[in-house]
């Protein structure tokens, strides 16, 4: 049988065992054995080893001197079921204590396994944790000046009102500890990190109370009277280490040097702690040095822009008693590491009660939580977005900015609240958070008066001339929801007007009303434009639609001329497509069919007949060979019907079949089809090579709508069209005649003439889902009488990144022919919401550039490179580059 000393050291150092779960039975003369928590036992101290009679773990006897039982290490009792967060070689284990009505403050029942309880669905806290740190001012010094008896009731009331999950106190002494432990709210809900009667509390003055399950506790000595007290608590988000300390002050010789050494020691200890960590306390340093030295984040700065002092000799007479310099400072901090973000931060005890403060320090109360549960959005910000206030129309300022502000054409007149903000692809997640942030803030009046300057000749008008408080409240409310956005030292409301102070001084004062905040974004090389606004007081969100493109010029005359010239040059030429059915848009393309022995034989005759034509290029990947060219802004597709290829004539048959099907309803059909095609083009849904629905498909849908409505066709038919196809089960094929059984394709629209076939084989699942969403949106717009039916889509709200495809002019045809293959590769790789915009967003002398949206979870640069490597084979000069959300302009 091993000795009690051997057993003690195994428990203390065996990583499989949790010392806090063991109790030693110590012999007492004439009394029953005393149960002593193992972490509080001092080996080699006053109690000799032979007086240790037994050892218990979790209430089970695992070693007994009298019976010879020795099951330490064999029994499951006392074991750590998951790795310890507090390394026993660094943190000396302590035993948490809780109140028992029958026995008083006794060792707490084990909180469970350090990493297990949060997953077991037990009594754990919400993911958000309220942490309070407060130096409560002991009366060891200047006792006659600090009025301890009268301020302690204020202190106890402040602690109770804070309603914190974890309370970390400094400068606690036995009298205060006794008062605190007698409070009903403490006894009912809190555990202490140590035995309250142990000498360590009086020696260091640091104690931690938690109403969350305590999984482990330990202490890190820093010196004879300084230490770190740490607990591991269970939260819904997992185990959390909360540590508290009180560093040496400048009342001690070489205080700064001692603090540096203490920070170094703490940094070493925390480096060995896995997971989320919160370090709180009185750091006796008003600079940002502690956070920087430890590599931790300052929670206050995540939630607030201001930095009020926690030790203020000017305001607080108690602080004046002990201050060496008379200067106010922010000595007390909540520092964090890991996933946690600070959503709210406030001071406690910063207002006197009947002229009296509870302590010479103010407490700091911080609400911490992982981003998803904290009501925050923590993503990498971008300088392409901002949250601002926009003043009303102001001719003087607009003129001043045009003349003196180099950014006048890139920014509207504004007051910045956050810059940069989250990417536009996160706006839909940001909008409800921003709404929550400002819903409780009422609109307020502001007076814009006075001219100020920043460095480098930045001249601004002062929008806080009537008071900065409402601006600060608005700024704090907004920024706490977006902790990843840049934190600046202080917030100064300002309305920049340029670089001329003299000119700015000619602008008169003005009163305005702040009733909403506006979110701006810049796309490509464009200016900052409003994307949505949120009303103060209500949180109502108003999205800003893009302006619709103006109708293109009518190219009907050009189309007639080109058709005539080519008929004279080539012989048999037929107009097909939308210009044959009479539903073409005014600037719509011209589709033609001609007959030749080979497609190549046509090109030279076209060049001779139309010398002004540009960009003559072969059509690649189509069912029939052909050529594409541009004449006076008109796009011309010339299909060549080669002998033995009847498919080439199908487009002529399709047009005739549509007209035959609608019969005397042709005018209704043409009107509806033109509106639908205009909508489809504006929303980027109308190009087969890019995975969309071709013109014949839209014609079939419009004709089917007209036919099914019969004599009940109402108005223009848009409501019937969008309502019908938004609710359509796309597994069912659509046609003007007999349709086949379900094919399993995402969308099946049958051509109306022989050879009858699907014209939507190129449509993938991602486009089907996009099509359904767009149809529902259009239906809602029409039903509501809206005017933004044909505005460009907000694709920047959908795609976090883009693949920009740069195509030399002579390779546009081959790229268009193979683009569907690239979309398929992306979809196969899991980018189900990839979407290719069918028109180039940029043209120069050498090339055009297309944008492919890569969805909300885009592949990284390396993965995209791998996906496009095979697709690019043979496409000399074609490049595919991944760019960020805002690097592509609005797509039209």
Domain C-terminal end among 584, 609, 644: 644
302: three-class secondary structure by DSSP: helix
* Count of structural domains, the chain: 6
Tokens read off for 376: 């925050």
pLDDT tens column, 395-405: 999 999 999 99
Residue 334 lies in a domain: yes
Same domain, 195 and 267: yes
Q: Say yes or no to pLDDT of 520 above 80.
A: yes
Same domain, 243 and 206: yes
- Among 677-681, 742-746, 846-850, the minimum mean pLDDT is found in 742-746
Question: Tokens 């005018």 appear where?
Answer: 667
Q: Identify the CATH number of the domain in which residue 134 sits.
A: 3.60.10.10
CA–CA distance, 194 with 219 (Å, rounded to integer): 9
With beta carbons less than 8 A apart as the criterion, state whether 478 and 434 touch.
yes
DSSP letter (8 states) at residue 646: G
pLDDT-derived band at 116 (thresholds 50, 70, 90) equals: very low
CA–CA distance, 571 with 142 (Å, rounded to integer): 111
Same domain, 778 and 819: no
For the ranges 343-347, 368-372, 758-762, the one whose mean pLDDT is highest: 758-762
The sign of the dihedral angle between the CA atoms of 547, 548, 553, 558 is: positive
Same domain, 486 and 588: no
pTM of the predicted model as reported, rounded to 2 decimal places: 0.62
Same domain, 830 and 698: no
CA–CA distance, 608 with 628 (Å, rounded to integer): 15
Residue 111 lies in a domain: no
Q: What is the mean pLDDT of residues 20-45?
A: 89
The sign of the dihedral angle between the CA atoms of 112, 116, 118, 122 is: negative
> Percentage of residues in the chain with pLDDT exceeding 90?
64
Phi, psi of 820 (to 5 degrees): -60, -35
Domain that holds residue 482: 382-543
Q: Identify the CATH number of the domain in which residue 845 sits.
A: 3.30.70
The pLDDT value given to residue 8: 92
With beta carbons less than 8 A apart as the criterion, state whether 850 and 868 touch.
no
Domain C-terminal end among 66, 84, 102: 84
Domain C-terminal end among 783, 804, 838: 783
CA neighbor of 283 nearest in space, from 437, 178, 111, 168 = 168
CA neighbor of 276 nearest in space, from 246, 221, 235 = 235
Torsion of CA 865, 871, 874, 879, to 10 degrees: -40
Residue 859 lies in a domain: yes
Residue 97 lies in a domain: no
Residue 93 lies in a domain: no
CA–CA distance, 248 with 271 (Å, rounded to integer): 22
CA–CA distance, 793 with 683 (Å, rounded to integer): 6
Q: In residues, how long is the chain? A: 892
The pLDDT value given to residue 147: 80
273 against 528, higher pLDDT: 528
Helices then strands, counting H and E runs in the chain, come out as 24, 40
Same domain, 507 and 581: no
Question: Tokens 């001719």 appear where?
Answer: 395
pLDDT tens column, 525-570: 999 999 999 999 999 999 998 888 888 889 999 999 999 999 999 9
CA–CA distance, 581 with 591 (Å, rounded to integer): 11
Residue 96 lies in a domain: no
The pLDDT value given to residue 148: 84
Cα distances (Å, whole numbers) of residue 475 to 389, 418, 513: 11, 8, 16
Same domain, 689 and 827: no
Same domain, 405 and 536: yes
Residue 50 lies in a domain: yes
Same domain, 245 and 311: yes
Tokens read off for 296: 């931790």
Q: Which residues contact 397 (CB under 8 A, 6 or more apart)?
A: 391, 413, 461, 495, 497, 507
Same domain, 569 and 700: no
The pLDDT value given to residue 68: 92
CA neighbor of 343 nearest in space, from 652, 126, 596, 583 = 126
Q: Which residues contact 487 (CB under 8 A, 6 or more apart)?
A: 301, 302, 305, 479
Tokens read off for 139: 């009366």
Residue 892 lies in a domain: no
Q: Say yes or no to pLDDT of 647 above 70.
A: no
What is the C-alpha radius of gyration for the chain, rounded to an integer number of angstroms? 37
Same domain, 194 and 298: yes
Q: Identify the CATH number of the domain in which residue 566 sits.
A: 3.30.460.10
Q: Identify the CATH number of the domain in which residue 422 sits.
A: 3.90.1140.10
CA–CA distance, 545 with 790 (Å, rounded to integer): 10
Cis peptide bond upstream of 755, omega within 30? yes
Same domain, 243 and 171: yes
């Amino acid at each position: 049988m091993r000795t009690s000393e051997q057993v003690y050291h195994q428990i203390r150092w065996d990583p499989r065992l949790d010392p806090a779960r063991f109790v030693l039975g110590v012999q007492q003369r004439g009394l029953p054995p005393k149960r002593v928590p193992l972490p509080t036992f001092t080996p080699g101290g006053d109690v000799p080893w032979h007086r240790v009679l037994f050892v218990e773990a979790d209430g089970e006897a695992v070693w007994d001197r009298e019976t010879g039982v020795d099951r330490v290490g064999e029994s499951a009792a006392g074991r750590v079921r998951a790795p310890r967060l507090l390394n026993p070689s660094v943190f000396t284990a302590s035993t948490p204590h809780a109140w028992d009505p029958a026995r008083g403050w006794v060792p707490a029942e084990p909180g469970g396994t350090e990493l297990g309880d949060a997953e077991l669905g037990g009594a754990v806290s919400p993911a958000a944790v309220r942490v309070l740190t407060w130096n409560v001012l002991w009366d060891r010094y200047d006792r006659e000046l600090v009025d301890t008896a009268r301020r302690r009731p204020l202190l106890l009331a402040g602690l109770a009102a804070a309603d914190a999950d974890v309370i970390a106190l400094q400068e606690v002494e036995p009298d205060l500890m006794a008062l605190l432990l007698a409070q009903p709210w403490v006894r009912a809900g809190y555990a202490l990190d140590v035995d309250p009667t142990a000498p360590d509390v009086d020696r260091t003055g640091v104690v931690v109370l938690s109403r969350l399950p305590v999984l482990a506790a330990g202490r890190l000595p820093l010196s004879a009277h300084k230490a770190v007290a740490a607990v591991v608590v269970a939260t819904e988000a997992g185990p959390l280490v909360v540590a508290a300390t009180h560093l040496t002050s400048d009342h001690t010789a070489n205080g700064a040097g001692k603090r540096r050494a203490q920070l170094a020691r703490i940094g070493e200890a925390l480096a060995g702690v896995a997971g989320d960590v919160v370090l709180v306390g009185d750091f006796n340093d008003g600079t940002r040095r502690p956070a920087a030295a430890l590599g931790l984040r300052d929670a206050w700065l995540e939630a607030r822009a201001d930095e009020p002092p926690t030790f203020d000799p000017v305001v607080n007479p108690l602080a004046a008693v002990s201050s060496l310099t008379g200067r106010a400072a922010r000595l007390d901090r909540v520092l964090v590491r890991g996933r946690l973000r600070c959503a709210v931060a406030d001071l406690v005890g910063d207002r006197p009660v009947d002229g009296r403060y509870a302590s010479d320090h103010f407490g700091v109360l911080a609400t911490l939580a992982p981003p998803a549960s904290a009501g925050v959005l923590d993503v990498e910000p971008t300088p392409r977005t901002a949250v601002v206030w926009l003043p009303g129309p102001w001719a003087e300022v607009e003129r001043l900015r045009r003349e003196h502000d180099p950014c006048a054409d890139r920014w509207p007149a504004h007051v910045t609240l956050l810059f940069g903000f989250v990417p536009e692809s996160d706006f839909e997640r940001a909008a409800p958070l921003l709404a929550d942030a400002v819903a409780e803030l009422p609109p307020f009046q502001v007076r814009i008066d006075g001219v100020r300057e920043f460095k480098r000749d930045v001249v601004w008008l002062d929008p806080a001339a009537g008071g900065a408080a409402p601006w600060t409240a608005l700024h704090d409310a907004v920024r706490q929801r977006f902790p990843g956005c840049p934190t600046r030292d202080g917030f100064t409301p300002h309305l920049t007007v340029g670089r001329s102070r003299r000119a700015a001084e000619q602008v008169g004062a003005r009163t305005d009303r702040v009733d909403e905040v506006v979110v701006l974004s810049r796309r490509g090389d464009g200016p900052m434009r409003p994307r949505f606004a949120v009303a103060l007081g209500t949180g109502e969100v108003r999205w800003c639609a893009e302006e619709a493109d103006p109708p293109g010029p009518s190219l009907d005359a050009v189309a007639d001329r080109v058709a005539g010239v080519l008929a004279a040059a080539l012989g048999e030429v037929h107009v097909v497509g939308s210009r044959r059915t009479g539903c073409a848009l005014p600037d719509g393309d011209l589709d033609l069919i001609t007959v030749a022995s080979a497609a190549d034989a046509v090109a030279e005759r076209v060049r001779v007949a139309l010398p002004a034509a540009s960009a003559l290029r072969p059509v690649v990947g189509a069912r029939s060979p052909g050529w594409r060219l541009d004449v006076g802004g008109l796009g011309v597709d010339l299909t060549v019907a080669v002998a033995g290829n009847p498919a080439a004539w199908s487009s002529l048959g399709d047009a005739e079949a549509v007209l035959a099907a609608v019969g005397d309803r042709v005018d209704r059909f043409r009107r509806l089809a033109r509106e639908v095609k205009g909508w489809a083009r504006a929303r980027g849904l109308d190009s087969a090579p890019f995975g969309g629905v071709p013109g014949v498909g839209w014609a079939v849908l419009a004709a089917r709508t007209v036919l099914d409505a019969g004599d009940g066709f109402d108005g223009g038919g848009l409501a019937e069209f969008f309502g019908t196809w938004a609710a359509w089960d796309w597994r069912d094929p659509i046609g003007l005649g007999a349709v086949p059984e379900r094919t399993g394709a995402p969308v099946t629209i049958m051509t109306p003439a022989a050879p009858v076939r699907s014209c939507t084989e190129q449509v993938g699942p991602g486009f089907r889902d996009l099509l359904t969403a767009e149809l529902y949106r259009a239906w809602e717009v029409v039903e509501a009488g809206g005017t933004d039916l044909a505005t460009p889509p907000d694709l920047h709200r959908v795609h976090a990144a883009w693949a920009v495809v740069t195509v030399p002019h002579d390779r546009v045809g081959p790229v268009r022919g193979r683009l569907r293959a690239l979309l398929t590769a992306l979809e196969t790789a899991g980018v189900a919401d990839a979407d290719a915009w069918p028109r180039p967003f940029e043209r120069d002398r050498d090339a055009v550039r297309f944008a492919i949206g890569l969805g909300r979870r885009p592949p990284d640069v390396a993965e995209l490179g791998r996906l496009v490597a095979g697709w690019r084979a043979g496409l000399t000069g074609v490049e595919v580059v991944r760019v960020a959300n805002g690097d592509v302009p609005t797509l039209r």
